[in-house]
Amino acid sequence: MKDKTIASFSTLSDLSLTHEQHAHEAGLSLEEYDRIKRLLGRVPSKVELGIIGAMWSEHCSYKSSRAHLSKLPVSGPQVLVGPGENAGAIDIGDGLAIVFKIESHNHPSFIEPFQGAATGVGGILRDIFTMGARPFALANLLRFGKPSQKRVPFLLNGVVGGIASYGNCFGVPTVMSNVDFHESYDGNNLVNAFAIGVVQKEDIFFGRASGVKNRVLYVGAKTGRDGIMGAVMASDTFMEDAKSKRPTVQVGDPFIEKLLLEACLLAFKEKLVVGVQDMGAAGLTCSIFEMANRASTGLAINLDHVPLRDETMTAYDIMLSESQERMLMVVAPKDVARLKQIFEHFGLDCADIGHVSGDGIVRIHHKGHDVVELSATLIIENAPRYRRSYISEIPALRQSIKDGVNVDVATAVESFKNDLGQKDLTYITSQFDHHIGLATIVGPNVADAVLIKVPNSRKAVALSLVSHGKLCKIHAMEGARRLIFQAALEVSTQGAEPVGITNCLNFGSPENVPVMTDLKHAIDGMAQAATSLSVPVVSGNVSLYNETKGQPILPTLAICLVGLADTPSCYTKFSRAKENHRLVLLGELPDDYTGAEAVIDELPSGMSPKPWDGDFILCMAAILRRGVLDDLIDCASVVGRGGLLLSLIKIMAGSGLGADLDLASICPRDELSLALLSEDAPRVLLAMSEDKFAALAKLCENLVPINALGRLHGDEFAIKHQGQIIFSEQKNVLIANFATSLEEYLASH
């Protein structure tokens, strides 16, 4: 009754429907619906409900994670733009900035893998060029269910095909992939897309609708019915048949996006744009409300002028469509004509759909009716913040866990054979154009971190993209810390200094206490490690509700760490390892098995990894950089998943050489397996020429342990202890196994 009285004060047209029903459709709880009524002092219209539902979705509002994300270090002398804008930006000197971000497109990619993954790439590219930057590299992190699951080959080929079709056509190299398989992803595969671009730092653009009376332009492709309420769908768990959600997946067109990029960059160059934002999640809604909120302005929008693929679309459809390749621009009235000319040249739509107002209210008009009248700030700043329940106690960090664990090298080699997550990824990365742009110095699969020349600059960026769901499941905080430490070491193997981090938190439902506990601790661990290395987290994305029928995915924190190399003429590659090169192990020796891939599934519960020390990592990273820049080190592999053994196999595969090692210098006879398989200590395996060893040892003196293990040689892989052969195998057998199984697996399914 009361609602009706309030409604009579509004000029909006459709306030008589059953709104509880619509609230549910918009993904809002009844409490949230009541909150809206209180905030507005009236009932919302159906379109308004759809808008608020999208803006308050987990995907857009971070309502479960925001409270914790505030702990991340986001500033620093080189940070030009931190979280909150379309992407983060770091000053790299010479007047240039790099702009980068990683973002999830998990839910759509499970429903429709090809289009879901393709539009994930499209979205992240728009985030970069919306800032005014020209994208120069893409990367991705992919997670699939256990390989025996019937749908996995279909999903993998679809996702890889979608990324390839979009990235290759757009013309930006896809330089790195991180791929793994686990049964927890059976009902929720993950697609995280990363992009990086470069811009003159004074030319960075922001998503702000400033300047009263400025015009609002809609540019790019037409609006269709695809992806309506996609942001809400992405904030929900899957219950049954994901197919029924197909219409919520957008369809991408890289050809249009390429034209949009060139048109936007030309418009930016001619200084015709005041503010700009791409229409990503929640489409026109999100771009209108966020741009108005950032500038504390209002917008008057007439939907009658929005270019449509289907004229029968309602205001609700138009506001919530997630059709791809569209942007919203705020421009001075005098520049409208020139902008229309530019977009026409590229064959794109460019429509004047409204103007900026000074009263802070977003007013939307459609076919003779006002359908929305909302304060952007009211809606965004009053989005719910949930303090979801979690267990604050951090699991104790235990020391030595080696008793009761028995694994020999032959068994471990055998287990790697059946583990697709340990394979050479050439089958996947060869489907991505990683050479275009002439900037790829060290590309995919030939080193731990890739090295890409920054266009129009002498500098290069090294990228490391890591994640370790199983370790984060054991101990989310230490797992998160180690990921950042590992990534810092990896970029250091390319002579690069860590300058910034972007992250994607892929988790299950935050309403589930163990999931929320992992999420909270993972963020804390990330904050600790980033702080201890003084590397800011400048952008990121949270993807929750990755669970099906109550089964959450492993806590999958994807970390992409960007390093800056001033002199990219020095770098490491597996193929640079040569006959008779010395194999050298830098770092601490493990005394623990926790987290080791070879035994992880057999560990007793309650085990915890040993904490790594941030200062020690800084020291190792500095030595690695010096060693690479002084041309002492030719090849390096940071010991991670699969332990020292997998690092050895990678170097043998890359160099085509066998290896002859004696591990007596690093461990007693009965701890050989521990030395080879443990992932519990920060270590880096190096290959270098004999005569340079002394110089590196001198750098390490009193700081970091360094041990010569043997040399690269011949056709055999032999592990000895005091001269006695413990394990040997023809190198070709190991290499073939590492290199071909992924392709064979997919061919046979």
Partner 1 sequence: MTENIRPAIIVFPASNCEKDMAQVLQEVFSLSPILVWHTETHLSNDITHVILPGGFSFGDYLRAGALAAHSPIMAEVKRLARFGLPTLGVCNGFQILCEAKLLPGVLLRNHHDRFVCTVSRMTWFGARQTHVPQTIHLPIAHRDGRFYAGDATIDRLREEDGIALVYDDADENGDALVNGAKACIAGIVGGPKRNILGLMPHPERMASEHMLGSDGLRILKDFLFGQDDERQNDCKL
Q: Which residues are known catalytic residues?
A: 59, 105
Q: How many helices (H) and strands (E) does the chain have?
A: 25, 28
Instruction: Please pick, from the candidates 112, 180, 322, 433, the single residue that binds partner 1 as defined by CB under 8 A.
Output: 433
Q: Per rule CB under 8 A, is residue 432 in the interface with partner 1?
A: yes
Q: Per rule CB under 8 A, is residue 253 in the interface with partner 1?
A: yes
Instruction: Please pick, from the candidates 82, 120, 254, 540, the single residue that binds partner 1 as defined by CB under 8 A.
Output: 254
Instruction: Please pick, from the candidates 93, 333, 347, 358, the single residue that binds partner 1 as defined by CB under 8 A.
Output: 347
* Amino acid (one-letter) located at 118: A
Instruction: Please pick, from the candidates 164, 301, 663, 706, the single residue that binds partner 1 as defined by CB under 8 A.
Output: 164
Q: Which is nearer to partner 1, 125 or 371 (CB)?
A: 125
Q: Which is nearer to partner 1, 161 or 611 (CB)?
A: 161
For residue 637, list its beta bridge partners.
685
Q: Which is nearer to partner 1, 424 or 680 (CB)?
A: 424
* Strand (E) or helix (H) holding 299: strand 298-302
Dist. CA 566–CA 576, nearest whole Å: 21
Q: Which is nearer to partner 1, 173 or 298 (CB)?
A: 173
Q: Which of 571-608 are b and which e, b meaning 16 or more Cβ less than 10 Å from the residue's Cβ?
A: bbbbbbbeeebbbbbbbbbbbbbbbbbbbbeebeeebb
End-to-end CA distance of the chain: 61
Tell which residue, 274, 383, 380, has the closest CA to residue 328: 274
Instruction: Please pick, from the candidates 84, 255, 400, 725, the single residue that binds partner 1 as defined by CB under 8 A.
Output: 255
Query: Phi and psi dihedrals of 98, rounded to 5?
Result: -100, 145
Q: Are strands 79-81 and 450-453 parallel, antiparallel or unpaired?
A: unpaired
Task: Pick the stretch among 73-81, 373-381, 426-434, 474-482 that binds partner 1 (CB under 8 A).
Answer: 426-434
Task: Pick the stretch among 138-146, 437-445, 517-525, 669-677 that binds partner 1 (CB under 8 A).
Answer: 437-445
Cβ pair 209, 330 in contact under 8 A? yes
Q: What is the residue whose two structure tokens read 């992924």?
A: 742
Q: Which is nearer to partner 1, 163 or 706 (CB)?
A: 163
Task: Pick the stretch among 144-152, 207-215, 423-431, 675-683 that binds partner 1 (CB under 8 A).
Answer: 423-431
Closest CB 452 distance from partner 1, rounded Å? 13
* SS3 readout for 671-687: HHHHHHHCCCCCEEEEE
Which value, to the nearest 10 degrees, does the dihedral of the CA atoms of residues 143, 145, 150, 153 take? 20
Closest CB 87 distance from partner 1, rounded Å? 22
Up-side HSE of residue 499: CA atoms within 13 Å toward CB? 26
Task: Pick the stretch among 113-121, 250-258, 482-490, 672-680 that binds partner 1 (CB under 8 A).
Answer: 250-258
Q: Which is nearer to partner 1, 277 or 494 (CB)?
A: 494
Q: Which is nearer to partner 1, 440 or 637 (CB)?
A: 440
Total number of residues that touch partner 1 (CB under 8 A)? 26
- Inter-axis angle of helices 513-533 and 614-629, to 10 degrees? 50
Q: Which is nearer to partner 1, 226 or 373 (CB)?
A: 226
Q: Per rule CB under 8 A, is residue 258 in the interface with partner 1?
A: yes
Q: Per rule CB under 8 A, is residue 207 in the interface with partner 1?
A: no
Q: Per rule CB under 8 A, is residue 126 in the interface with partner 1?
A: no
Q: Per rule CB under 8 A, is residue 325 in the interface with partner 1?
A: no
Q: Which is nearer to partner 1, 271 or 435 (CB)?
A: 435
Query: Phi and psi dihedrals of 241, rounded to 5?
Result: -80, 115
Instruction: Please pick, from the candidates 6, 67, 169, 697, the single residue that binds partner 1 as defined by CB under 8 A.
Output: 169
Q: Per rule CB under 8 A, is residue 161 in the interface with partner 1?
A: yes
Instruction: Please pick, from the candidates 70, 341, 430, 567, the single residue that binds partner 1 as defined by CB under 8 A.
Output: 430
Q: Per rule CB under 8 A, is residue 460 in the interface with partner 1?
A: no
* Amino acid (one-letter) located at 431: Q
Q: Per rule CB under 8 A, is residue 250 in the interface with partner 1?
A: no
Q: What is the residue whose two structure tokens read 């043997």?
A: 710
Burial of 175 (0-12, 13-18, 19+ CB in 10 A): buried
Q: Per rule CB under 8 A, is residue 278 in the interface with partner 1?
A: no
Up-side HSE of residue 422: CA atoms within 13 Å toward CB? 29
Q: How many other C-beta atoms are found inside a 10 Å radius of the C-beta of residue 131?
A: 29
Dist. CA 320–CA 228, nearest whole Å: 5
Closest CB 165 distance from partner 1, rounded Å? 8
Q: Which is nearer to partner 1, 169 or 739 (CB)?
A: 169
* Strand (E) or helix (H) holding 358: none
Closest CB 378 distance from partner 1, rounded Å? 42
Up-side HSE of residue 713: CA atoms within 13 Å toward CB? 13
* Amino acid (one-letter) located at 110: F
Q: Per rule CB under 8 A, is residue 168 in the interface with partner 1?
A: yes
What are the distances in angstroms from CA 485 to CA 42, 440, 498, 551, 675?
A: 51, 24, 10, 29, 20
Instruction: Please pick, from the candidates 67, 436, 622, 697, the single residue that binds partner 1 as defined by CB under 8 A.
Output: 436
Q: Which is nearer to partner 1, 162 or 595 (CB)?
A: 162
Instruction: Please pick, from the candidates 96, 155, 259, 676, the single residue that binds partner 1 as defined by CB under 8 A.
Output: 259
Closest CB 491 distance from partner 1, rounded Å? 21
Closest CB 232 distance from partner 1, rounded Å? 31
Closest CB 308 distance from partner 1, rounded Å? 21
Q: Per rule CB under 8 A, is residue 431 in the interface with partner 1?
A: yes
Closest CB 568 distance from partner 1, rounded Å? 9
Cβ pair 278, 126 in contact under 8 A? yes
Write out the binding residues for partner 1, residues 615-654 only, by CB under 8 A: none
* Strand (E) or helix (H) holding 34: helix 30-40
Enumerate the H helices of 357-475 as residue ranges. 376-381, 409-417, 426-429, 469-474
Q: Per rule CB under 8 A, is residue 171 in the interface with partner 1?
A: yes
Q: Give the chain's radius of gyration (CA, Å).
A: 27
Q: Per rule CB under 8 A, is residue 438 in the interface with partner 1?
A: yes
Q: Per rule CB under 8 A, is residue 309 in the interface with partner 1?
A: no
Cβ pair 308, 223 in contact under 8 A? yes
Instruction: Please pick, from the candidates 437, 495, 525, 640, the single residue that binds partner 1 as defined by CB under 8 A.
Output: 437
Task: Pick the stretch among 77-85, 189-197, 249-257, 644-652 that binds partner 1 (CB under 8 A).
Answer: 249-257
The tokens describing 558, both together, are 């994807």
Q: Which is nearer to partner 1, 65 or 119 (CB)?
A: 119
Q: How many other C-beta atoms are found inside a 10 Å radius of the C-beta of residue 498?
A: 26
| Residues lying near partner 1 in the complex (CB under 8 A) | 161, 164-165, 168-171, 253-256, 258-259, 346-347, 429-438, 440
